[in-house]
Amino acid sequence: MKKLNENLPLGASDSYSIYTVNPSGGDLKLLISESDKWMNSPVWSPDGKMIAYFTAGKNAPNAKFMNIYNLENGVAKVAGEVPVAGSSIDLAWSPDSKRIAFNDREGKVIKVMKINDGTIEDIQTNLADDVSIFHLDWSPDGKQFVFGGEKGGITEFWYMEDFLPLIKK
């Protein structure tokens, strides 16, 4: 993410954008630019074909959305409305690139959005009230979540398994 006007402090720019650059260097390539929305937490899909990111309206801060940018066709779409969005919320793609997990602001629930229809499932962590989730991610097989947790100023490592419903055949 890059501000278009580097002389303004973070958050004061008139426009937010997402660029790519070749790892060996070269010019920036503009992918997305938003002038009426804040953009947060961009993250690549595991297959490298999409970027997920949050937007929130500058003039309508209660309107928060999960967005998907498709690098193959250059189209950005809203995957669905979300209850929270911001730089303190982690996004994590499932290994199959079909779902995105994110933590809520209080850090007690992991939310999982299906990108094909925007539905959100809440995964209860049953963490104590004074534990907050950060750095959320999926295991490579998609059967566990791993995240950091902070409790009373002490950082802990957590993982969750058996949170997905059984699929009956």
Q: What is the DSSP letter of 165?
A: P
**Nearest of 2, 56, 11 to residue 32 by alpha carbon:** 2
Name the range with the highest mean pLDDT among 8-12, 76-80, 151-155, 163-167: 76-80
**Nearest of 95, 90, 92, 99 to residue 149 by alpha carbon:** 90
- Structural tokens at position 134: 């950060």
pLDDT (mean) for 101-124 = 86
pTM over 0.75: yes
Q: Is the C-alpha dihedral spanning 61, 79, 166, 162 positive or negative?
A: negative
CATH fold group of domain 2-161:
Neuraminidase (2.120.10)
So what's the pLDDT on residue 105? 66
Is residue 8's pLDDT more than 50? no
- Structural tokens at position 118: 């925007």
